[in-house]
Structure 1
Amino acid sequence: MRNLLLRNKNTSENVIHLNIQEKRLIQLLCILIPFSAMNIMMFNVALSNISEELNVSLSATSWVVTIFGIVYAIGALVYGKLADLYGIKKLALFGVITFSIGSTVGLASQDFYVLIVSRLLQGMGASSIPTLSMLIPVRFVQKERRGRALGIVASTLAFSGAVGPIIGGFIVGAWHWKALFLFSLAIVCTLPFVYKWIPTENLKKENPHNYIGVGLLIITIITFMLSITMLNLLLLFISMSAFLVFMIHQKNSVIPIIPLTLFRKRDYRRGIIMGGINAAVNFGVLLITPLLFSQVYHLNETWIGVLLFPGAISAAFLGYAGGNLIDYKGNRFVMSLSICLTSVGLIALSYFSGYSAIGVSICLIFTSTGYIFMQPTLVNWVSSTFESNESGVGMGVYSLNNFLSTAVSGAIASTMLDRISQVPIIPFASYGSSGAYSNVYFIFFVLTLVNVLLLYSSMYRYKYNDILKEDLPGD
């Protein structure tokens, strides 16, 4: 009896310790994520100041943002693969240290090329955080609490991305654009906690040296990102060619960068597609809506920020509730709710464009909440398809797919605004310049219907078939 009581006491202490460890890890992620997510957009507001001070053209100055985005996309996959080889702790330490070095170089830079190097280093460090922020809940949080953890992570990502331009504008206006690097350098304070709180993993090592595969992948991503940014068909052809060679090399490689067996899993394939659509629609809406406020309603930057804020803050707070719903109601319920919210928001945006700016702002609450509900649910669903040694590269591919989807969505949405008809598709919508925006919102709604079909075929039809099989006599 005494031994049994001691055993139960030890078990309780282990559970308490596990809960404390999980809370610490999520708190650490909530501190790390803003440094990464905000840096994607913070420097957009400083480009004109950098151009004037360093005497560089605006087109060249845009590389301050572009180089960060390219490295960020590459890192989304590379860090996922390396996490399976070296563990999360080592990569998190490397990411924070590299980001801190880049911030220090940027703070001391007096030359444009040194500034570009600093942003490259920042991108190398910052790109570790999104992938690791999804892997940490997957690996270190118990399944019954994982949805809540992923909801908190998704909320923090959404809120950080939304307030990035606002905080960036405040810092640049109050001090100097180099103060952005000083703000970023504060991440160095997290190093002791990264070292102490992230567990050390015992992983099965394999030979990671596949330089040809890595090179082909980097060429594919860089040329693809540049082709989208510059609308260059030659670069797109080079990217597709490099990707084809990469796929052939992966098929014949003993240790592939991306195991093609991942894509044989039905749920993983569908999760990848649904995640890409969700990210593309959300980014497209957030890209064209400020243009709608500016060009149709003729609002200044302050009012645009005010009208965008309700959607961002709602997504941040409701994302936590979405995470709880995953744990209590399951993936299927939350995905269905997410798609309903997004669809209602997009149809309403298509109608209200040209009528009420406040109405548009309210509609963004629906689309932003739908997006933030879908993200952690998809991560929770997709992660359940992995073998123990696949979680890193699997989530890396998922992150990369989402990032590239946003790049494509941004390029297509901005192009459609110039070329699409200004006669609205949806009845009773406003005619004129707002008609083009209305039609783009409606196209995003049609794209969301693809997720309805994928959700039905993945989680409704097959579950219904399973029930029928259980009812068959003799089964």
Structure 2
Amino acid sequence: MTPTNVNQDTPPATKPGRATGFRGALLTLSLSMLLPALSTSIVNVALPSMAEGFSASFQQVQWIVLAYLLAISSLIVGVGRLGDIAGRRRLLLVGIATFTAATFLSGVAPTLWLLIAARAAQGIGAASMMALSMAFVAETVPQPRIGRAMGLLGTMSAIGTALGPSLGGLLIAGFGWRAIFLVTAPLGLLTFVLARRYLPADGPTRRAGRLGFDYVGTLLLALTLGSYSLAVTLEHGLFGSLSTALLVAALVGLGLFLLAERRVSSPLIQLNNFRDPALSAGLAMSVLVSTVMMTTLVVGPFHLARVLGIQPALIGLVMSAGPVVAALTGVPGGRLVDRLGAQRVLVIGLIGTVIGTISMSLVPISFGIAGYVLSLVVITAGYALFQTANNTTVMTGILAEQRGVTSGMLNLSRNLGLLTGASVMGAIFAFASGAADITTADPGAVATGTRWAFTMAAALVMVALGLAIGSKRSARMRPRYPIES
């Protein structure tokens, strides 16, 4: 096996005559990251209206969210690999079309279960958009600007997450819950038109499809990830009999998947790739830090309401400080990556996140909203720097045949961290508070739960920091992901 040049398949510096195409491609990829994030966060605020409209229970309408997340988590790696084989532009166009059609169908669905099915289809399209957008960066962005491009994609994802609740609330108040889908569908159509015009055509090697697709491995991985996702969401991290059974199923599925990958000639994931410390550490750090970020979303509303006594109308405003900071930090963070190097910025981001989580666990209640917001700003700014640098580190210099599947794994690691944070860290918060019902717990109990949750969060980020420092030296020597015959 011969080492891969870091600059393989990297586009040359942008020339004046190609500036419009470059900007058009970057706009397309930005929308492809914005819409899936927006579709994740905008629906949560509509669940009460949907439950009322369909005369359904909360447990039933919860599947509107779960179907979307399960589809993304289960298929994002397989979709990325399929893009490497069949052509990323072609598959991204199919994904955008699927997302757009499913979004419109969600807006006109006459029954709850048709809406859930449409949301699952929307998740399939979103998986394609998320997995392939980052994979396209190396083909459309000059090498000196890759950090900035990664920062922009992270910014668009943060904007989508931040915009969802407020935009959804306005649309529901004015036009009803169906408007949240019917307004998003035209944006999907615009993204499709831009993708057809500006994204580079698939090369002849990919069109030939000389690499086989691992159907067995894809199915086993989808079942494994689906089992894990359900295990950590259905019982909200309490791990009763159903969640335990699903976790066992996920472990069995993982074992079968690893066995299958060692036996097929063209596996879904090249297991030897995990010998590269940059890839292994990057994925592990993504899971850990995303778990911590979800802690702020799970614990924050209870702490603000029960400990600081903030009215519900203001909680969303205070919580929006995090996504706003992430949106403002992404592009400047990308410029730092291009100037200082991804590894340095990655370590800086993790150190900032550690400081923020420690501050959140120790800040006195007397500091009030200011103390909470300041800690949240430090955490989120550190996370934005980390995400931009980590995405750049993992995606730079890999073989063209592995960009899609690697991008899929990177997005999957983030999703698994968010799912784990929502369940496990929420359970730690509730357990540490000592209250039977956290929604009615006294302020002291909630404050204790907050301290323990963010102490655990700080420990997780310190583990990530150790991984970053340990992989820093190996990142300078970059023989990346050869395809084994």
Common topology (TM > 0.5): yes
Aligned pairs for 1:359-438 (under 5 A) are 359-384=371-396, 386-420=398-432, 432-438=445-451
Aligned pairs for 1:334-345 (under 5 A) are 334-345=345-356
Of structures 1 and 2, the larger Rg is shown by 1
Deviates more, 1:207-216 or 1:276-285: 207-216
Aligned pairs for 1:192-341 (under 5 A) are 192-202=193-203, 203-204=205-206, 205-230=209-234, 231=239, 232-341=243-352
Answer whether contact 1:51 1:61 (CA < 8 A) is retained.
yes
Aligned match of 1:458: 471
- Number of matched pairs: 448
Moved over 6 A (4+): 11-14, 461-464
Aligned pairs for 1:41-52 (under 5 A) are 41-52=41-52
In structure 1, distance between residues paired with 2:30 and 2:195: 12
Deviates more, 1:150-159 or 1:137-146: 137-146
Answer whether contact 2:75 2:222 (CA < 8 A) is retained.
no
Aligned pairs for 1:32-71 (under 5 A) are 32-71=32-71
For residue 330 of structure 1, report the CA deviation from its aligned partner: 0.6
SS of 2:196 mapped into structure 1 = helix
Letter of the structure 2 residue corresponding to residue 227 of structure 1: A
Answer whether contact 2:278 2:475 (CA < 8 A) is retained.
no
Listed one character per residue, the Cα deviations across residues 382-403 of structure 1 (whole Å, up to 9, x for unaligned) are 1235223111111211211221
Deviates more, 1:149-158 or 1:70-79: 70-79
Task: Pick closer, same or farther for the CA change 1:403–1:461 going to 2, 3 Å.
Answer: closer
Tell me: higher relative CO, structure 1 or 2? Use CA pairs within 8 A at least 6 residues apart: 2
Listed one character per residue, the Cα deviations across residues 146-176 of structure 1 (whole Å, up to 9, x for unaligned) are 0011111111111211221121122112211
Letter of the structure 1 residue corresponding to residue 272 of structure 2: T
Aligned match of 1:181: 181
Aligned match of 1:470: none
Listed one character per residue, the Cα deviations across residues 392-435 of structure 1 (whole Å, up to 9, x for unaligned) are 11121121122112111211111011212679xxxxxx954312
Aligned match of 2:94: 94
Listed one character per residue, the Cα deviations across residues 286-340 of structure 1 (whole Å, up to 9, x for unaligned) are 2211221122223233211111223322221121110000111111221122112
Listed one character per residue, the Cα deviations across residues 353-401 of structure 1 (whole Å, up to 9, x for unaligned) are 6331222012111111111111121111112352231111112112112
Aligned match of 1:85: 85
Answer whether contact 1:102 1:118 (CA < 8 A) is retained.
yes
In structure 1, distance between residues paired with 2:13 and 2:220: 49
Answer whether contact 1:354 1:435 (CA < 8 A) is retained.
no
Aligned match of 1:162: 162
Task: Pick closer, same or farther for the CA change 1:244–1:412 going to 2, 3 Å.
Answer: same
In structure 2, distance between residues paired with 1:298 and 1:345: 22
In structure 1, distance between residues paired with 2:147 and 2:125: 26
Aligned match of 1:5: none
In structure 1, distance between residues paired with 2:169 and 2:13: 48
In structure 1, distance between residues paired with 2:70 and 2:330: 28
Deviates more, 1:211-220 or 1:174-183: 211-220
Letter of the structure 2 residue corresponding to residue 75 of structure 1: L
For residue 115 of structure 1, report the CA deviation from its aligned partner: 0.9
| TM-score in terms of structure 2 length | 0.87
SS of 2:399 mapped into structure 1 = coil
Q: Does 1:146 align with 2:146?
A: yes
For residue 140 of structure 1, report the CA deviation from its aligned partner: 2.0
For residue 220 of structure 1, report the CA deviation from its aligned partner: 0.6
Letter of the structure 1 residue corresponding to residue 197 of structure 2: K
Answer whether contact 1:339 1:448 (CA < 8 A) is retained.
yes
Q: Calculate percent identity across the aligned residue pairs.
A: 23
In structure 2, distance between residues paired with 1:31 and 1:246: 33
In structure 2, distance between residues paired with 1:196 and 1:367: 39
CA RMSD for the aligned pairs?
A: 2.3
Answer whether contact 1:267 1:385 (CA < 8 A) is retained.
no
For residue 460 of structure 1, report the CA deviation from its aligned partner: 5.5
In structure 2, distance between residues paired with 1:263 and 1:368: 28
| TM-score in terms of structure 1 length | 0.89
Answer whether contact 1:73 1:400 (CA < 8 A) is retained.
yes
Letter of the structure 2 residue corresponding to residue 233 of structure 1: T
In structure 1, distance between residues paired with 2:39 and 2:129: 12
Deviates more, 1:324-333 or 1:132-141: 132-141
Task: Pick closer, same or farther for the CA change 1:84–1:321 going to 2, 3 Å.
Answer: same
Answer whether contact 1:217 1:242 (CA < 8 A) is retained.
yes
Task: Pick closer, same or farther for the CA change 1:66–1:152 going to 2, 3 Å.
Answer: same
Letter of the structure 2 residue corresponding to residue 392 of structure 1: G
Answer whether contact 1:326 1:334 (CA < 8 A) is retained.
yes
Task: Pick closer, same or farther for the CA change 1:331–1:55 going to 2, 3 Å.
Answer: same
In structure 2, distance between residues paired with 1:149 and 1:311: 21
Answer whether contact 2:90 2:202 (CA < 8 A) is retained.
no
Task: Pick closer, same or farther for the CA change 1:176–1:14 going to 2, 3 Å.
Answer: closer
Task: Pick closer, same or farther for the CA change 1:415–1:17 going to 2, 3 Å.
Answer: same
SS of 1:62 mapped into structure 2 = helix
Q: Does 1:441 align with 2:442?
A: no
